[in-house]
Structure 1
Amino acid sequence: MKLVKLLMVVGTLAAASFASSVEARGTHYGTGGDDIIIGGTGTDIIYGYDGNDRLYGGTGADVIYGGNGNDKLYGETAADTLFGGNGNDYLDGGTAGDSYYGGAGYDICKNITGTPYFNSCESF
Protein backbone atom coordinates (compact mmCIF):
# COMPACT_ATOMS: atom_id res chain seq x y z
CA MET A 1 0.00 0.00 0.00
CA LYS A 2 1.27 3.46 -0.88
CA LEU A 3 0.28 6.34 1.42
CA VAL A 4 0.20 9.94 0.34
CA LYS A 5 0.03 12.83 2.82
CA LEU A 6 -0.93 16.29 1.61
CA LEU A 7 -0.80 19.02 4.20
CA MET A 8 -3.29 21.39 2.57
CA VAL A 9 -5.26 21.29 -0.66
CA VAL A 10 -7.81 23.94 -1.51
CA GLY A 11 -10.49 22.85 -3.95
CA THR A 12 -11.15 19.36 -5.26
CA LEU A 13 -8.98 16.24 -5.09
CA ALA A 14 -9.31 13.69 -7.88
CA ALA A 15 -9.60 10.01 -7.03
CA ALA A 16 -6.40 8.00 -7.31
CA SER A 17 -5.78 4.35 -8.13
CA PHE A 18 -4.07 3.58 -4.80
CA ALA A 19 -4.99 3.79 -1.13
CA SER A 20 -4.19 7.16 0.33
CA SER A 21 -4.08 9.38 3.36
CA VAL A 22 -5.14 12.95 2.66
CA GLU A 23 -5.57 16.02 4.84
CA ALA A 24 -7.32 18.82 2.98
CA ARG A 25 -10.35 21.12 2.87
CA GLY A 26 -13.17 21.45 0.36
CA THR A 27 -14.41 18.40 -1.55
CA HIS A 28 -12.45 15.15 -1.21
CA TYR A 29 -12.71 11.88 -3.11
CA GLY A 30 -11.34 8.58 -1.84
CA THR A 31 -10.21 5.61 -3.90
CA GLY A 32 -11.05 1.96 -4.33
CA GLY A 33 -8.63 1.21 -1.48
CA ASP A 34 -8.63 1.88 2.26
CA ASP A 35 -8.42 5.67 2.61
CA ILE A 36 -7.81 8.10 5.46
CA ILE A 37 -9.20 11.54 4.64
CA ILE A 38 -8.99 14.39 7.15
CA GLY A 39 -11.02 17.50 6.42
CA GLY A 40 -9.72 20.92 7.29
CA THR A 41 -11.27 24.12 8.55
CA GLY A 42 -14.66 25.09 7.19
CA THR A 43 -17.22 22.90 5.50
CA ASP A 44 -15.97 19.73 3.80
CA ILE A 45 -17.68 17.19 1.55
CA ILE A 46 -15.92 13.82 1.74
CA TYR A 47 -16.56 10.71 -0.38
CA GLY A 48 -14.89 7.50 0.79
CA TYR A 49 -16.00 5.25 -2.10
CA ASP A 50 -14.87 1.60 -1.88
CA GLY A 51 -12.59 0.16 0.78
CA ASN A 52 -12.59 0.35 4.57
CA ASP A 53 -12.12 4.08 5.01
CA ARG A 54 -11.51 6.40 7.95
CA LEU A 55 -13.03 9.81 7.21
CA TYR A 56 -12.69 12.85 9.50
CA GLY A 57 -14.66 16.05 8.91
CA GLY A 58 -12.53 18.44 10.95
CA THR A 59 -14.08 21.76 11.94
CA GLY A 60 -17.15 23.05 10.13
CA ALA A 61 -20.50 21.53 9.18
CA ASP A 62 -19.32 18.61 7.04
CA VAL A 63 -21.07 16.05 4.82
CA ILE A 64 -19.36 12.64 4.81
CA TYR A 65 -20.22 9.66 2.59
CA GLY A 66 -18.65 6.32 3.52
CA GLY A 67 -19.59 4.36 0.37
CA ASN A 68 -18.96 0.61 0.10
CA GLY A 69 -16.92 -1.10 2.79
CA ASN A 70 -16.72 -1.07 6.58
CA ASP A 71 -16.05 2.62 7.17
CA LYS A 72 -15.44 4.85 10.19
CA LEU A 73 -16.86 8.37 9.88
CA TYR A 74 -16.04 11.12 12.37
CA GLY A 75 -17.83 14.45 12.03
CA GLU A 76 -15.87 16.07 14.87
CA THR A 77 -17.05 19.66 15.57
CA ALA A 78 -20.15 21.48 14.21
CA ALA A 79 -23.41 19.93 12.94
CA ASP A 80 -22.36 17.24 10.45
CA THR A 81 -24.27 14.86 8.18
CA LEU A 82 -22.91 11.31 8.01
CA PHE A 83 -23.92 8.68 5.42
CA GLY A 84 -22.49 5.23 6.15
CA GLY A 85 -23.42 3.52 2.86
CA ASN A 86 -23.06 -0.23 2.30
CA GLY A 87 -21.15 -2.20 4.91
CA ASN A 88 -20.83 -2.30 8.69
CA ASP A 89 -20.02 1.30 9.56
CA TYR A 90 -19.14 3.34 12.64
CA LEU A 91 -20.56 6.88 12.66
CA ASP A 92 -19.53 9.42 15.30
CA GLY A 93 -20.79 12.93 14.67
CA GLY A 94 -18.85 14.54 17.49
CA THR A 95 -19.93 17.41 19.68
CA ALA A 96 -22.89 19.01 17.84
CA GLY A 97 -26.39 18.05 16.65
CA ASP A 98 -25.49 15.73 13.77
CA SER A 99 -27.61 13.74 11.29
CA TYR A 100 -26.90 10.03 10.82
CA TYR A 101 -27.87 7.79 7.90
CA GLY A 102 -26.42 4.34 8.51
CA GLY A 103 -27.34 2.57 5.26
CA ALA A 104 -27.13 -1.16 4.50
CA GLY A 105 -25.24 -3.30 7.01
CA TYR A 106 -24.83 -3.21 10.79
CA ASP A 107 -24.08 0.39 11.73
CA ILE A 108 -23.04 1.87 15.07
CA CYS A 109 -23.91 5.53 15.72
CA LYS A 110 -22.25 7.40 18.61
CA ASN A 111 -22.83 10.82 20.23
CA ILE A 112 -26.47 11.02 19.15
CA THR A 113 -27.51 13.40 21.96
CA GLY A 114 -29.14 16.44 20.37
CA THR A 115 -29.25 14.68 17.00
CA PRO A 116 -32.04 15.97 14.76
CA TYR A 117 -32.14 12.80 12.63
CA PHE A 118 -30.76 9.28 12.61
CA ASN A 119 -31.78 6.35 10.43
CA SER A 120 -30.59 2.75 9.97
CA CYS A 121 -28.40 2.67 13.07
CA GLU A 122 -28.48 -0.75 14.74
CA SER A 123 -26.47 0.24 17.82
CA PHE A 124 -26.02 3.51 19.73
Structure 2
Amino acid sequence: MQEKDWLSLVAVHSDSWLLSVAFYFGARFGFGKSERKRLFQMTNDLPTVFEVVTGAAKQARDAAHNNSSKSKSSGKPRQPEPQPKEVKVPPPKMEDESGEEEEEEEEEEQG
Protein backbone atom coordinates (compact mmCIF):
# COMPACT_ATOMS: atom_id res chain seq x y z
CA MET A 1 0.00 0.00 0.00
CA GLN A 2 1.37 3.37 -0.95
CA GLU A 3 2.02 5.95 1.75
CA LYS A 4 -0.53 8.39 0.30
CA ASP A 5 -3.26 5.73 0.26
CA TRP A 6 -2.44 4.68 3.82
CA LEU A 7 -2.53 8.28 5.03
CA SER A 8 -5.89 8.81 3.32
CA LEU A 9 -7.27 5.70 5.00
CA VAL A 10 -6.10 6.89 8.42
CA ALA A 11 -7.65 10.31 7.74
CA VAL A 12 -11.04 8.81 6.86
CA HIS A 13 -11.05 6.70 10.01
CA SER A 14 -10.02 9.73 12.07
CA ASP A 15 -12.93 11.72 10.64
CA SER A 16 -15.43 9.02 11.51
CA TRP A 17 -14.01 8.67 15.02
CA LEU A 18 -14.11 12.43 15.65
CA LEU A 19 -17.72 12.68 14.47
CA SER A 20 -18.72 9.69 16.57
CA VAL A 21 -17.13 11.13 19.70
CA ALA A 22 -18.60 14.58 19.13
CA PHE A 23 -22.15 13.30 18.72
CA TYR A 24 -21.76 10.75 21.53
CA PHE A 25 -20.91 13.51 23.98
CA GLY A 26 -23.67 15.63 22.50
CA ALA A 27 -26.16 12.89 23.29
CA ARG A 28 -24.55 12.06 26.64
CA PHE A 29 -24.84 15.60 27.97
CA GLY A 30 -28.35 16.12 26.66
CA PHE A 31 -27.84 18.58 23.83
CA GLY A 32 -31.11 20.11 22.73
CA LYS A 33 -32.21 20.53 19.14
CA SER A 34 -30.45 23.87 18.72
CA GLU A 35 -27.20 22.59 20.24
CA ARG A 36 -27.21 19.52 17.99
CA LYS A 37 -27.88 21.73 14.97
CA ARG A 38 -25.05 24.06 15.97
CA LEU A 39 -22.68 21.10 16.42
CA PHE A 40 -23.68 19.79 12.99
CA GLN A 41 -23.09 23.19 11.38
CA MET A 42 -19.74 23.59 13.12
CA THR A 43 -18.56 20.22 11.83
CA ASN A 44 -19.68 21.09 8.30
CA ASP A 45 -18.04 24.53 8.34
CA LEU A 46 -14.57 23.03 8.76
CA PRO A 47 -12.83 20.71 6.33
CA THR A 48 -12.45 17.07 7.31
CA VAL A 49 -9.06 15.54 8.03
CA PHE A 50 -9.38 13.59 4.79
CA GLU A 51 -10.02 16.78 2.80
CA VAL A 52 -6.98 18.43 4.35
CA VAL A 53 -4.74 15.43 3.68
CA THR A 54 -5.85 15.01 0.06
CA GLY A 55 -5.95 18.75 -0.68
CA ALA A 56 -9.66 18.74 -1.50
CA ALA A 57 -10.38 21.30 1.23
CA LYS A 58 -8.48 24.05 -0.56
CA GLN A 59 -10.28 23.35 -3.85
CA ALA A 60 -13.71 23.28 -2.18
CA ARG A 61 -13.03 26.54 -0.34
CA ASP A 62 -11.96 28.24 -3.57
CA ALA A 63 -15.10 27.03 -5.37
CA ALA A 64 -17.32 28.22 -2.52
CA HIS A 65 -15.63 31.60 -2.56
CA ASN A 66 -16.29 32.01 -6.28
CA ASN A 67 -19.97 31.05 -5.93
CA SER A 68 -20.65 33.16 -2.84
CA SER A 69 -21.02 36.37 -4.85
CA LYS A 70 -23.70 34.73 -7.00
CA SER A 71 -25.96 33.57 -4.17
CA LYS A 72 -29.44 35.05 -3.89
CA SER A 73 -31.37 35.83 -0.75
CA SER A 74 -35.08 35.16 -0.38
CA GLY A 75 -35.78 38.73 0.76
CA LYS A 76 -37.22 37.67 4.10
CA PRO A 77 -35.02 38.03 7.13
CA ARG A 78 -34.64 34.76 8.98
CA GLN A 79 -36.27 34.61 12.38
CA PRO A 80 -33.95 33.44 15.15
CA GLU A 81 -34.92 30.16 16.75
CA PRO A 82 -35.89 30.32 20.41
CA GLN A 83 -33.28 28.90 22.75
CA PRO A 84 -34.74 26.00 24.74
CA LYS A 85 -33.87 25.57 28.38
CA GLU A 86 -30.89 23.35 29.00
CA VAL A 87 -31.91 19.91 30.15
CA LYS A 88 -29.73 18.19 32.72
CA VAL A 89 -29.53 14.45 32.22
CA PRO A 90 -28.31 12.44 35.21
CA PRO A 91 -25.37 10.14 34.53
CA PRO A 92 -26.25 6.50 33.93
CA LYS A 93 -26.49 4.41 37.08
CA MET A 94 -23.65 1.99 37.59
CA GLU A 95 -24.79 -1.55 38.18
CA ASP A 96 -23.53 -2.88 41.47
CA GLU A 97 -23.33 -6.43 42.73
CA SER A 98 -26.89 -6.38 44.07
CA GLY A 99 -28.04 -8.49 41.12
CA GLU A 100 -25.70 -11.31 42.10
CA GLU A 101 -26.93 -11.25 45.70
CA GLU A 102 -30.53 -11.59 44.55
CA GLU A 103 -29.64 -14.62 42.44
CA GLU A 104 -27.87 -16.27 45.38
CA GLU A 105 -30.86 -15.68 47.66
CA GLU A 106 -33.22 -17.23 45.10
CA GLU A 107 -31.00 -20.31 44.79
CA GLU A 108 -30.88 -20.75 48.59
CA GLU A 109 -34.68 -20.51 48.84
CA GLN A 110 -35.22 -23.08 46.09
CA GLY A 111 -32.65 -25.56 47.03
The bucket for the TM-score relative to the shorter chain is under 0.3
Question: Normalized per residue, which structure has more helix?
Answer: 2
Larger radius of gyration: 2
Question: Normalized per residue, which structure has more strand?
Answer: 1
> TM-score if structure 1 supplies the norm length?
0.22
